[in-house]
Amino acid sequence: MSRMRTALPDAIAFLDRSPASWKEGVETAELNRRLLWFLLLRASVIAILLLLGLGKSLLIRGLTIGAPSLLCSAGLLCVMNVLFWLHYRKAAACADIEQGKLMAAMNIQAQIILDFLILGFLVYECGGIESPLVYFFLFHNTLSCLFFPRRISFFHTLLSVAIILAIHLLVRAQAVPETHFIRMGYYPYPGASGPGDFYQLGGIAFMYGVAWYLISTITDSLRERERQLQEKVREMTEVDREKTRYMLVTTHELKAPFAAIQSHINVMLEGYAGEVPEKVREILGKIRARCAILSSMLVEMIQLANLASLKERRAELTTERVDLGRAVEDALARLDEIAREKRVSFDAGAAVPGRHFILANPEQMQILLNNILGNAVAYSRPGTAVAVELRAEDDSVLARVRDRGIGIKKEHLEKVFLEHFREEKAVEVNPNSTGLGLSIARRIMELHKGRIWLESEEGKGTTVWMEFPGYGAQRR
Amino acid sequence: MNKKVFIIDDDRDIVESITLVLEAHGYAVSSLTSAEDAVKKVKGAKPDLVILDVMFPENPSEGFDVARALGSDKATRGIPVIVLSAINERFKLGFSDKDRDETWFPVARFLEKPVEPAKLVKLVKELIPS
């Protein structure tokens, strides 16, 4: 059953040759899909015509249309299908994207018109307006309403009615022999030249007209709504891009003066600007440290504001498949120098790349791991190790970072997630921290629908737990 | 002969401090405080190494553009480039992995501002051994 359900999408995917740019606009993507759908539909019609042509008398008793007509139509449709497919491939491979889209639209137009002509022939062969085939023009007319402007879909409707009318008039004028759907004698039927035929013709034309009006009106309003939606999405994307650019420039503008001050101080402290007295050296060291704190505080405050704004706007995170083990490995590499200075080692044997995957924003994962692992190093006692472990749970990935450091008081285990909250002992050990790292970490985890919590024993160390929804769970 | 270093950075203070450090280590330093005509000027100066800022007032990623232009020009392709920026990797807005891909973006190293003299000198010595 499920195989039947996926048969059509699978067949469309098999035939699909459209470039990525065609999938960006809903209209072009749908146009592409319907073009392929037409090819598939025609393939089924070919199969039906072939079956009827070969076993007509067995399948429908009394059908008047001859086997050669059915087989010729099938052959013609088959050639058309191949030509349309080749033309579509050419359109999809066209270097000029707009030209390619135009070719695809023309392809559909040509398919509709040629289908109409063949359908017209089959309608005539099957008895004109007495044949149920006269309603088959509706499939194309409906799709035409969906993909083309009203004047074009109206033209298609008009063409289909004109074909039906022309067949009937040609029969009435005896320019062509009269045909019937079912051979006379099998079922009583008044025939195409009965007195009610013009009423029937009028009814068909009326039905085609009303169907065109209803469908084209609905699709017009849907198209307008889609256009508005796309406009909104474009505006939002533009706002997001502008915001990112603004953040980047602001951060740079705020950080640059501190960087310049620190560079000058570094140059002075290392004696490039002459001898520096001991007391001045001490003061310069303090200025440099304060500059460093201010500078990282600026970055972290902007990060925090950005995360808060994402949450407020309920904006969707840009996520991708992230190898958590690899992200840990990268973060540890970045912290390697600081860790060596502090004589702290890493035990990350249980956090190797290629095993644990999550759906996450890679930049935010980088910030998160830098904060958590950076804290673990900063508050560890010299000579100890920070253990990092990743573990797959049912629908999640659990990360554990354990240090042998100063620990956190039990009553402060939640408070440390507040902005700027710092324990006295922490300030003593790491005076250069801003007190924003864990707030940022929690916000990142919330945005990723994950959890972060701490376990700690004062004086013995802290364990940070992070639970991420697994890649499979997020995808569902 | 002294090795030549060319600095392109709109922050005069940074240029001044780097110049002080590198000149003390015997390098001949010249600089540019705008990215305009950077490639042309680098060609004229024929340096052994370029130190390049990323963000310039009119374009927040102009440094990337200059680095690419240097990398694609025959005359400057072989010159190692150190990219210097106040925005570090920890906050890598605009620094996509593509920007750091060597094949796509020919940059020898990234260095974060503020410049630590010892780190800078070590890196310069590594890239242009005397």
pLDDT, one tens digit per residue, over B67-81 is 889 988 889 988 999
Query: At residue A318, what are phi and psi to the nearest 5 degrees?
Result: -85, 110
Rounded to 10 degrees, the C-alpha dihedral B24/B112/B65/A244 comes to -150
Catalogue the long-range contacts made by A425-432 (C-beta closer than 8 Å, 24 or more residues apart).
A426/A379, A429/A378, A429/A379, A429/A405, A430/A378, A430/A379, A431/A289, A432/A289, A432/A292, A432/A293, A432/A296
Q: Is A93 exposed, middle or buried (0-12, 13-18, 19+ CB in 10 A)?
A: exposed
> Which is higher by pLDDT, A363 or A81?
A81
Residue B10 forms contact with A (CB below 8 Å): no
Q: Do B11 and A256 touch (CB under 8 A)?
A: yes
Query: At residue A87, what are phi and psi to the nearest 5 degrees?
Result: -65, -40
pLDDT at B56: 85
pLDDT at A464: 96
Q: Which of A244, A263, A291 sits opposite B93 (nearest CB)?
A: A244
- In the structure, what pLDDT confidence band is assigned to residue A230 with cuts at 50, 70 and 90? confident
- The tens digit of pLDDT for each residue in A135-159 reads 989 988 988 888 788 899 999 999 9
Q: Which of B93, B96, B100, B112 to mutate to test the interface with A (most CBs of A within 10 A)?
A: B93
- Pair of tokens at residue A310: 């994402």
Query: At residue A95, what are phi and psi to the nearest 5 degrees?
Result: -65, -35
pLDDT at A92: 87
Q: What gap in Å lies between CA A29 and CA A35, rounded to an integer?
A: 10
Residues 6+ apart with CB under 8 A from A343: A382, A383
Which chain B residue is nearest to residue A269, measuring alpha carbons? B117
Residues of A in contact with B13 (CB under 8 A): 260-261, 263-264
Give me the CATH topology for the region B4-127: Rossmann fold (3.40.50)
Q: Is A266 exposed, middle or buried (0-12, 13-18, 19+ CB in 10 A)?
A: buried
Query: At residue A235, what are phi and psi to the nearest 5 degrees?
Result: -60, -45
Domain ranges of chain B: 4-127
Architecture (CATH level 2) of domain A318-476: 2-Layer Sandwich (3.30)
Query: What's the gap between Cα B4 and its chain centre?
Result: 13
Residue A268 forms contact with B (CB below 8 Å): no
Q: Do B86 and A272 touch (CB under 8 A)?
A: no
pLDDT at B31: 94
* pLDDT surpasses 60 at A295: yes
- In the structure, what pLDDT confidence band is assigned to residue A3 with cuts at 50, 70 and 90? low
pLDDT at B92: 42
- Please compute the mean of the pLDDT values over residues A172-197 and round it to a whole number: 67
Domain ranges of chain A: 2-194, 318-476
Q: How far is B75 from chain A (nearest CA, A)?
A: 32
CB atoms within 10 A of CB B119: 12
Q: Which of A251, A270, A366 sits opposite B87 (nearest CB)?
A: A251
Q: What gap in Å lies between CA A328 and CA A373, rounded to an integer?
A: 9
Query: How far, in Å, are A90, A146, B65 from residue A431 at the CA level?
Result: 66, 66, 39
Rounded to 10 degrees, the C-alpha dihedral A25/A29/A35/A36 comes to 160
Q: Which of B89, B92, B117 sits opposite A272 (nearest CB)?
A: B117
User: For helices B12-24 and A197-269, what crossing angle results, to 10°?
Assistant: 50
Residues 6+ apart with CB under 8 A from A344: A377, A380, A382, A383, A384, A385, A386
Write down the residue that tokens 């459209």 correspond to: A18
Residue B117 forms contact with A (CB below 8 Å): yes
Q: Which of B13, B55, B90, B97 to mutate to test the interface with A (most CBs of A within 10 A)?
A: B90
Residue A338 forms contact with B (CB below 8 Å): no
* pLDDT surpasses 90 at A402: yes
Query: How far, in Å, are A133, A274, A281, A286, B107 from residue A278 at the CA level?
Result: 101, 13, 5, 13, 39
> Which is higher by pLDDT, B123 or A189?
B123
Q: Which of A247, A252, A260 sits opposite B14 (nearest CB)?
A: A260
Strand partners, A391: A398
CA atoms within 13 A on the CB side of A439: 20
Which chain A residue is nearest to residue B90, measuring alpha carbons? A367
Nearest CA-CA partner of A288 in A313, A261, A312? A261
Q: What gap in Å lies between CA A247 and CA A242, rounded to an integer?
A: 9
CB atoms within 10 A of CB A118: 18
- In the structure, what pLDDT confidence band is assigned to residue A397 with cuts at 50, 70 and 90? very high
Residues of A in contact with B17 (CB under 8 A): 260, 263-264, 266-267
Residues of A in contact with B92 (CB under 8 A): 363, 366
* pLDDT surpasses 60 at A204: yes
Residues of A in contact with B86 (CB under 8 A): 251-252, 255-256, 259
Residue B93 forms contact with A (CB below 8 Å): yes
Q: What gap in Å lies between CA A389 and CA A418, rounded to an integer?
A: 26
Query: What's the gap between Cα A214 and its chain centre?
Result: 32
The rounded mean pLDDT for chain A is: 85
pLDDT at A193: 52
CB atoms within 10 A of CB A430: 16
Residue A366 forms contact with B (CB below 8 Å): yes
Asked if this assembly's ipTM is beyond 0.85, the reply is no
Q: Which of B23, B91, B97, B98 to mutate to test the interface with A (most CBs of A within 10 A)?
A: B91
Is A436:A297 a contact under the CB 8 Å cutoff? yes
Which chain B residue is nearest to residue A365, measuring alpha carbons? B90
* Distance in angstroms between the alpha carbons of the first and the last residue of chain A: 22
- Please compute the mean of the pLDDT values over residues A291-309 and round it to a whole number: 80
Q: Which of A266, A299, A322, A434 to mutate to test the interface with B (most CBs of B within 10 A)?
A: A266
Catalogue the long-range contacts made by A283-290 (C-beta closer than 8 Å, 24 or more residues apart).
A287/A261, A288/A262, A289/A431, A289/A432
Residue B118 forms contact with A (CB below 8 Å): yes
Residues of A in contact with B11 (CB under 8 A): 256, 259-260
Residue B55 forms contact with A (CB below 8 Å): yes
> Which is higher by pLDDT, B51 or A11?
B51
> Which is higher by pLDDT, A21 or A153?
A153
Peptide bond just before B114 cis, omega within 30 deg:
yes
- The tens digit of pLDDT for each residue in A28-45 reads 787 888 888 889 989 999
pLDDT at A337: 85
Q: How far is A123 from chain B (nearest CA, A)?
A: 60
Counting every residue, how long is chain A?
476
Query: What's the gap between Cα A470 and its chain centre?
Result: 19
Sign of the torsion angle spanned by Cα atoms B73, B77, B80, B85: positive
- In the structure, what pLDDT confidence band is assigned to residue A401 with cuts at 50, 70 and 90? very high
pLDDT at B64: 84
Nearest CA-CA partner of A140 in A266, A241, A41, A267? A41
Q: What gap in Å lies between CA A377 and CA A381, rounded to an integer?
A: 8
- Please compute the mean of the pLDDT values over residues A111-132 and round it to a whole number: 90
pLDDT at B91: 39
Residues of B in contact with A363 (CB under 8 A): 92-93
pLDDT at A59: 65
Element (H, E) at A258: helix A197-269
Sign of the torsion angle spanned by Cα atoms A353, A354, A359, A362: positive
Quote the percentage of chain B above a pLDDT of 90: 45
- Pair of tokens at residue A27: 């209209």
